[in-house]
């Protein structure tokens, strides 16, 4: 990237605030009070993101008499649930290719369950009047290099042979540019119904309000610091109080799990995004995008991008930063060198938008596991359940995870609990320095593959065979 181009592109960041656009909202609700003193309940939910809120909501919908308490360490939605791109996907397996590679015998049913889960989210948005800008637009995976176009065509043909292409269209260069116009686009796969766009913070705030209306007692600024058996149930401590519960659902994702043995299965990977100022009508016309689909490119180091309700462009992805030791720290949420890189990539994709400025730039941690999709389990003789490792597609899949956790706590034999995806866990990450070294080598190899026509080196092929991976 030439210095003059760098100066031109980084100038677009001069007014960008280092805070998530979604959370920078004057309508942001006031937090609930902290827990001070003892509490008791039937079900305690730990974590106030999507995972915890869906669990609390569905628990009350299944049994309105169930007494439910939810604890959040800071404010509902402040972490991944308020920082993501707002892509609400039907996929439970981090995309069809990953699911087909790992669970070929179950993939048709997993696809059906995922579609049902997205329909259930749309129904809940209507039923609870969740004002979250929900749009069932679908998503286009775009090719920006000839080898990616060939791979998309080959993958579409494989989907057709497997009977998995319903609702998916292959778009050649002219067809994809008729949808969204970029000189870099060479082909696309349009999943017309399998993804919705939404405002992630408004969804989480709406879920909290719905939970409270149904009688869930929500406590914020109440981190759970310890969990242990207590009589016939479980006791959880907070700084100023404690909760005794018959059962506990853990939706803490990347934050240290209260079941210590679960911690080795996830690592934090930091992802970053930019948000533009609203596009003018002329700027929007220059891009097209009348279908308002979400988009993602097909490189290993990929970008994701979409329009907000007021026609801003969110542009994120590419860099994936793993901090040595797997620490989660606020200082990692801001990374100017990545913002500059993303700005350059944005104007390369959409040169017709040069002059547009960015208003917000932010980052956050993704709870990443080695198979890219959620895993589940129980502890303390079935009184504690957990779901984690959603690896960036948790906006939709967390609702499915909530159903799984509730099934496990009820001891129910359901179609969900019988899935191999639910019964088996991914490989854990090794301790340091092996985790950092392996992830760094994988990132280098992925970048090299992008630069060499998608050819995977010996390291990536070995990781594929072992069922390990690292998704940028």
Residue-wise pLDDT for 153-182, tens only, equals: 999 999 999 999 999 999 999 999 999 999
Please report which confidence band the pLDDT of residue 472 belongs to, taking 50, 70 and 90 as the band edges: very low
Tell me: do 410 and 441 sit in the same domain: no
CA dist 141 and 294 (Å) reads 9
Q: What's this model's pTM, rounded to 2 decimal places?
A: 0.95
Note whether residue 354 is domain-resident.
no
Cα 344 vs. chain centroid, distance in angstroms?
A: 24
Note whether residue 326 is domain-resident.
no
Is the pLDDT score of 341 beyond 70? yes
Query: Across all residues in the chain, what is the average pLDDT?
Result: 94
Is the pLDDT score of 122 beyond 80? yes
Instruction: Tell me what pLDDT residue 441 has.
Output: 85
Tell me: do 121 and 50 sit in the same domain: yes
Of 150, 166, 192, the one marking the end of a domain is 192
Instruction: Tell me what pLDDT residue 457 has.
Output: 85
Tell me: do 73 and 88 sit in the same domain: yes
Q: Give the number of domains in the chain.
A: 3
Question: Mind listing the pLDDT tens digit for each residue in 394-444?
Answer: 999 999 999 999 999 999 999 999 999 999 999 999 999 988 888 888 888
CA dihedral defined by 448, 87, 417, 212, rounded to 10 degrees?
140
Is the pLDDT score of 2 beyond 60? no
Nearest 5°: CA angle at 47, between 228 and 255?
80
Is the pLDDT score of 449 beyond 90? no
Instruction: Tell me what pLDDT residue 244 has.
Output: 98
Tell me: do 174 and 210 sit in the same domain: no
Please report which confidence band the pLDDT of residue 301 belongs to, taking 50, 70 and 90 as the band edges: confident
Note whether residue 3 is domain-resident.
no
Tell me: do 102 and 36 sit in the same domain: yes
Tell me: do 415 and 439 sit in the same domain: no
Please report which confidence band the pLDDT of residue 460 belongs to, taking 50, 70 and 90 as the band edges: confident
Tell me: do 418 and 451 sit in the same domain: no
The domain that holds 255 is classified in CATH as: 3.50.50.60
Tell me: do 79 and 173 sit in the same domain: no
Of 192, 207, 234, the one marking the end of a domain is 192
Instruction: Tell me what pLDDT residue 115 has.
Output: 97
Tell me: do 197 and 244 sit in the same domain: yes
Mean pLDDT along residues 247-273: 96
Is the pLDDT score of 33 beyond 80? yes
Note whether residue 107 is domain-resident.
yes
Question: Mind listing the pLDDT tens digit for each residue in 278-293?
Answer: 999 999 999 999 999 9
Note whether residue 410 is domain-resident.
yes
Note whether residue 74 is domain-resident.
yes
Percent residues over pLDDT 70 in the chain = 97
Domain carrying residue 120: 30-135+193-266+369-428
Tell me: do 56 and 122 sit in the same domain: yes
Q: How far apart are the first and last CA of the chain?
A: 21
Note whether residue 438 is domain-resident.
yes
Instruction: Tell me what pLDDT residue 6 has.
Output: 57
Tell me: do 125 and 48 sit in the same domain: yes
Q: Is 19 exposed, middle or buried (0-12, 13-18, 19+ CB in 10 A)?
A: middle
Is the pLDDT score of 298 beyond 50? yes
Of 162, 177, 192, the one marking the end of a domain is 192
Instruction: Tell me what pLDDT residue 281 has.
Output: 97
Please report which confidence band the pLDDT of residue 469 belongs to, taking 50, 70 and 90 as the band edges: low
Tell me: do 197 and 96 sit in the same domain: yes
Question: Mind listing the pLDDT tens digit for each residue in 370-380?
Answer: 999 999 999 99
Note whether residue 344 is domain-resident.
no
Compare 45 and 435 and report the one with higher pLDDT.
45
């Amino acid at each position: 990237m030439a210095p003059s181009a760098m100066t031109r592109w980084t100038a677009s960041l001069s007014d960008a605030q280092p805070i998530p656009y979604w959370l920078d909202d004057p309508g942001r609700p006031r937090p609930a009070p902290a827990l001070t003193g003892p509490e008791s309940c039937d079900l305690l939910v730990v974590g106030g993101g999507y995972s915890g809120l869906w669990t609390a909501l569905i628990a009350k919908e299944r049994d309105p008499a169930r007494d439910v308490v939810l604890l959040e360490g800071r404010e509902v939605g402040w972490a991944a649930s308020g920082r993501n791109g707002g892509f609400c996907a039907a996929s439970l397996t981090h995309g069809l290719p990953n699911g087909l590679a790992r669970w070929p015998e179950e993939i048709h049913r997993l696809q059906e369950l995922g579609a049902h889960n997205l329909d259930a989210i749309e129904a809940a948005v209507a039923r609870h009047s969740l004002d979250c800008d929900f749009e069932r637009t679908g998503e286009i995976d775009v090719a920006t290099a000839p080898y990616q176009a060939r791979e998309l065509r080959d993958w579409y043909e494989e989907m057709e042979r497997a009977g998995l292409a319903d609702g998916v269209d292959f778009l050649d260069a002219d067809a994809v540019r008729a949808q969204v116009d970029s000189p870099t686009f060479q082909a696309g796969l349009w999943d017309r119904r399998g993804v919705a766009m939404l405002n992630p913070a408004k969804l989480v705030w709406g879920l909290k309000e719905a939970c409270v209306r149904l009688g869930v007692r929500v406590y914020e600024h109440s981190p759970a610091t310890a969990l242990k058996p207590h009589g016939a149930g479980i006791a959880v401590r907070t700084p100023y109080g404690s909760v005794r519960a018959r059962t506990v659902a853990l939706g803490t994702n990347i934050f240290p799990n209260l079941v210590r043995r679960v911690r080795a299965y996830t690592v934090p990977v930091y992802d970053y995004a930019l948000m533009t100022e609203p596009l003018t009508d002329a700027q929007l016309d220059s891009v097209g995008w009348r279908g308002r689909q979400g988009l993602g490119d097909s490189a290993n180091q990929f970008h994701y991008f979409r329009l907000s309700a007021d026609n801003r462009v969110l542009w994120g992805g590419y860099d994936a930063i793993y901090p040595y030791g797997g620490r989660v720290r606020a200082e990692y949420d801001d990374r100017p060198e990545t913002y500059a890189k993303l700005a350059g990539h944005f104007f390369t994709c959409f040169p017709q938008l040069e002059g547009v400025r960015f208003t917000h730039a932010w980052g956050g941690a993704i709870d990443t596991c080695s198979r890219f999709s959620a895993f589940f389990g129980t502890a303390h003789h079935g009184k504690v359940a957990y779901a984690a490792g959603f690896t960036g597609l948790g906006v939709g899949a967390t609702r499915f995870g909530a159903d799984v956790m509730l099934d496990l706590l009820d001891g129910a034999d359901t179609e969900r609990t019988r899935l191999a995806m639910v019964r088996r866990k991914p490989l854990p990450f090794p301790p340091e320095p092996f985790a950092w070294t392996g992830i760094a080598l994988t990132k280098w190899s992925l970048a090299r593959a992008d630069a060499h026509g998608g050819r995977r080196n010996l390291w990536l092929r070995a990781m594929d065979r072992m069922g390990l991976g690292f998704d940028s």
